[in-house]
């Protein structure tokens, strides 16, 4: 008998066969949309027929530029089960980056939400390789657009057949999905997720000591479906038959709180910025969050104070987890071991504010600069290296950057960590020169290079400063040209940056300094700058 391949088709079939009456709820442009997994399955079959009609071939990249909604969820399984690769485009990229990733991935078709059309309209001259644009809208008529050829999703779905025979003839290592992640400098880097990797990662999300995701759950992913596949939750939820609640376009914190209460959400997933917003609103409006068993928090460190406040005021715990685009993403989950429950309360909180324990299935090493394993004493720092069935092995079509990041068969994360005697990993620093603002990356090096092209600027180093809402924001330490000292204002620099970077990349602060401290090899000593200006 042939080896049984681990394919996403299992997810689709199981949802249809075992949970046909369970619901997917989606906040659409015209209100709340509800349907069942049986309806979902039929539309996924129709969508697969549409892909065929549009001439999509096995292995082609099919892109989505979309919020968390039911149509995006349909693409999540229709595209990979058809044998193509779903490339989820990050709608926060600025136009050059968006054009770059579409062309680098060679996307053949782009499915786009109606309110995101202007992002593509603005770069249409650069999208010569895209054969079709499909607009996802609740409206009957298509919104105005200069893209061509353009189709209406609902019209294509309405005229397609309900039956589609998804092939079982796929290798489990076939690419199923892909995502790009911001690099320290240069263009974003592509990461491929295989059927096998997503299958095993979904199983891991169901393990009791990770998220224990199950049929009983109602899951609300606030983490975008373009950011590491909403942390893999749409695949796992569909497989397990969990009810899914998708918050749609630009959900604000009130929308999120209302959805949690109205749909009796049991698990919600988002970055710390979202949970800080929820806490602030809850303090004013007092929501009934009794249906919630956990708020999954990842992407940046969950502050201990936030974890405590959730236990005491919100009544449901923060479930702290760590991952990366390159790791599908789940790597660490922070849950006290059974015997830790007897520890003093403060010590338990210190423990779960760490990123946690490696989930089953993965391997890690923490090494110093000479590549030697560091001691597990909670003090010695080293770089975190990872490998395993859902850890990427390379960057897409990028041998040079792959060589250094995946040297020796391990992913070099650039996260500097300690490991304590219990095996809990704590992120102590980041050697990658990036700033994480509200869950999305800003390249400090790119900002520096543009600021340094300003005629009044001699040198610039950009660092992360702590921010209550966004966790981190950029601040630029700037040395001015001698004859311009005392004459340059904040706006002179930020106006210069306008149009060259996304608005949300603009530094919050310009700190004029006499000189930028350098390391022994002449690099900007950002550690020193952080100590001076960012309190760390």
Left (φ > 0), alpha (ψ -120 to 50) or beta: where does 408 sit? left
CA-based nearest residue to 430, from 421, 446, 441: 441
Looking at 170, 176, 301, 460, which residue binds ligand AMP (CB under 6 A)?
301
> For residue 350, what are its two tokens?
């210190």
Q: How far is the CB of 322 from ligand AMP (least distance, A)?
A: 4
Q: How far is the CB of 76 from ligand AMP (least distance, A)?
A: 18
Q: Which is nearer to ligand AMP, 152 or 228 (CB)?
A: 228
CA–centroid distance for 317 within its chain = 21
Q: How many binding residues for ligand AMP (CB under 6 A)?
A: 19
Within positions 354 to 383, which residues make up the interface with ligand AMP, using CB under 6 A? 355
Contact 461, 523 (CB under 8 A): no
Is 443 a residue that touches ligand AMP (CB under 6 A)? Answer: no
Q: How far is the CB of 426 from ligand AMP (least distance, A)?
A: 9
The vertex-521 CA angle with 519 and 522, nearest 5°, equals 65
Measure the CA–CA gap between 60 and 109, rounded to whole angstroms: 9
Q: How far is the CB of 296 from ligand AMP (least distance, A)?
A: 10
Is 328 a residue that touches ligand AMP (CB under 6 A)? Answer: no
CA–centroid distance for 66 within its chain = 13
Q: Which is nearer to ligand AMP, 26 or 300 (CB)?
A: 300
Is 298 a residue that touches ligand AMP (CB under 6 A)? Answer: yes
Q: Which is nearer to ligand AMP, 17 or 209 (CB)?
A: 209
Q: Which is nearer to ligand AMP, 116 or 228 (CB)?
A: 228
> For residue 26, what are its two tokens?
């989606």
Is 329 a residue that touches ligand AMP (CB under 6 A)? Answer: yes
Find where tokens 């602030």 sit. 280
Measure the CA–CA gap between 233 and 267, rounded to whole angstroms: 11
Is 394 a residue that touches ligand AMP (CB under 6 A)? Answer: no
Contact 206, 410 (CB under 8 A): no
The four Cα atoms 527, 530, 533, 536 give a dihedral, to 10 degrees, of: -120
Is 430 a residue that touches ligand AMP (CB under 6 A)? Answer: yes
> For residue 536, what are its two tokens?
């760390």
SS3 content of the chain, % helix, strand, coil (to 5): 35, 25, 40
Is 233 a residue that touches ligand AMP (CB under 6 A)? Answer: no
Region near ligand AMP per CB under 6 A, out of 160-168, 299-307, 342-350, 490-498: 299-307
Looking at 383, 415, 433, 448, which residue binds ligand AMP (CB under 6 A)?
415
Is 232 a residue that touches ligand AMP (CB under 6 A)? Answer: no
Contact 184, 202 (CB under 8 A): no
Is 424 a residue that touches ligand AMP (CB under 6 A)? Answer: no
Q: Which is nearer to ligand AMP, 19 or 395 (CB)?
A: 395
Measure the CA–CA gap between 259 and 114, rounded to whole angstroms: 22
Q: How far is the CB of 200 from ligand AMP (least distance, A)?
A: 19
Within positions 212 to 231, which residues make up the interface with ligand AMP, using CB under 6 A? 228
The closest residue (CB) to ligand AMP is 325
Neighbours of 274 (CB within 10 A): 21
Measure the CA–CA gap between 371 and 533, rounded to whole angstroms: 32
Measure the CA–CA gap between 79 and 211, rounded to whole angstroms: 26
Region near ligand AMP per CB under 6 A, out of 39-47, 108-116, 249-257, 293-301: 293-301
Q: x-or-dash pattern for ligand AMP, window 176-215, by CB under 6 A?
A: -----x----------------------------------
Region near ligand AMP per CB under 6 A, out of 140-148, 294-302, 345-353, 495-503: 294-302
CA-based nearest residue to 82, from 135, 19, 8: 8
Q: How far is the CB of 508 from ligand AMP (least distance, A)?
A: 20
Is 244 a residue that touches ligand AMP (CB under 6 A)? Answer: no
Q: Which is nearer to ligand AMP, 71 or 412 (CB)?
A: 412
Is 300 a residue that touches ligand AMP (CB under 6 A)? Answer: yes
**DSSP-assigned letters across all residues of 185-208:** SSS-EEEEEEHHHHHHHHHHHHST
Question: Are β-strands 175-181 and 189-194 bridged in parallel, bridged antiparallel, or unpaired?
Answer: antiparallel
Within positions 475 to 504, which residues make up the interface with ligand AMP, using CB under 6 A? none
Residues 6 or more apart whose CB falls under 8 angstroms from that of 192 comprise 85, 175, 177, 178, 392, 396
Which residues are catalytically annotated? 181, 326, 436, 441
- List of residues contacting ligand AMP (CB under 6 A): 181, 228, 298-301, 320, 322-325, 329, 355, 413, 415, 427, 430, 436, 441
């Amino acid at each position: 008998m042939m080896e049984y391949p681990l394919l996403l088709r299992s997810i689709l079939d199981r949802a249809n066969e075992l949970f046909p009456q369970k619901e997917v709820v989606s906040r659409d442009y015209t209100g709340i949309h509800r349907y069942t997994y049986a309806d979902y399955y039929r539309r996924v079959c129709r969508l697969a027929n549409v892909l065929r009609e549009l001439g999509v071939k096995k292995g082609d990249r099919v892109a989505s530029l979309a919020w968390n909604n039911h149509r995006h969820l349909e693409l999540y399984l229709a595209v990979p089960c058809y044998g193509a690769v779903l490339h989820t485009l990050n709608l926060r990229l600025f136009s050059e980056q968006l054009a770059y990733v579409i062309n680098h991935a060679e996307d053949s078709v782009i499915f786009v939400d109606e309110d995101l059309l202007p992002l593509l309209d603005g770069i249409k001259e650069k999208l010569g390789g895209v054969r079709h644009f499909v607009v996802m809208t609740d409206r009957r008529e298509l919104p105005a657009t200069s893209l061509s050829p353009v189709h209406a999703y609902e019209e294509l779905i309405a005229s397609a057949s309900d039956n589609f025979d998804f092939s079982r003839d796929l290798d489990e290592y076939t690419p199923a999905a892909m995502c790009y992640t911001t690099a320290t400098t240069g263009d974003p880097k592509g990461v491929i997720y295989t059927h096998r990797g997503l299958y095993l990662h979904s199983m891991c999300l169901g393990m009791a000591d990770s998220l224990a995701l199950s049929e009983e759950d109602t899951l609300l992913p606030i983490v975008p479906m373009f950011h590491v596949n909403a942390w893999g939750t749409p695949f796992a939820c569909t497989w397990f038959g969990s009810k899914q609640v998708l918050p749609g376009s630009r959900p604000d914190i009130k929308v999120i709180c209302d959805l949690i209460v109205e749909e009796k959400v049991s698990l919600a997933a988002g970055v710390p910025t979202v949970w800080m917003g929820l806490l602030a609103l809850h303090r004013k409006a007092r929501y009934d969050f009794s249906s919630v068993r956990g708020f999954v928090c990842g992407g940046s460190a969950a502050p201990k104070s936030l974890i405590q406040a959730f236990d005491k005021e919100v009544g449901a715990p923060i479930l702290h987890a760590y991952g990366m685009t390159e790791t599908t993403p789940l790597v660490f989950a922070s849950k006290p071991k059974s015997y830790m429950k007897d520890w003093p309360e403060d010590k338990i909180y210190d423990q779960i504010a760490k990123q946690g324990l490696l989930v089953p299935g993965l391997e890690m090493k923490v090494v110093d600069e000479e590549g030697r394993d560091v001691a597990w004493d909670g003090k010695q720092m080293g770089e975190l290296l990872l490998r395993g069935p859902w850890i990427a092995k390379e960057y897409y079509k990028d041998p040079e950057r792959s060589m250094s990041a995946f040297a020796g068969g391990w992913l070099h994360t650039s996260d500097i960590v300690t490991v304590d005697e219990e095996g809990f990993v704590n992120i102590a620093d980041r050697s990658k020169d990036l700033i994480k603002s509200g869950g999305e990356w800003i390249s400090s090096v790119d900002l520096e290079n543009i600021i340094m092209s300003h005629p009044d600027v001699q040198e610039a180093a950009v660092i992360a400063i702590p921010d209550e809402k966004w966790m981190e924001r950029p601040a630029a330490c700037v040395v001015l040209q001698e004859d311009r000292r005392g004459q340059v204002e904040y706006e002179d620099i930020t106006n210069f940056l306008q149009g060259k970077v996304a608005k949300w990349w603009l530094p919050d602060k310009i700190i004029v300094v006499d000189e930028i401290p350098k390391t022994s090899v002449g690099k900007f000593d950002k550690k020193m700058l952080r100590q001076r200006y960012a309190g760390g």
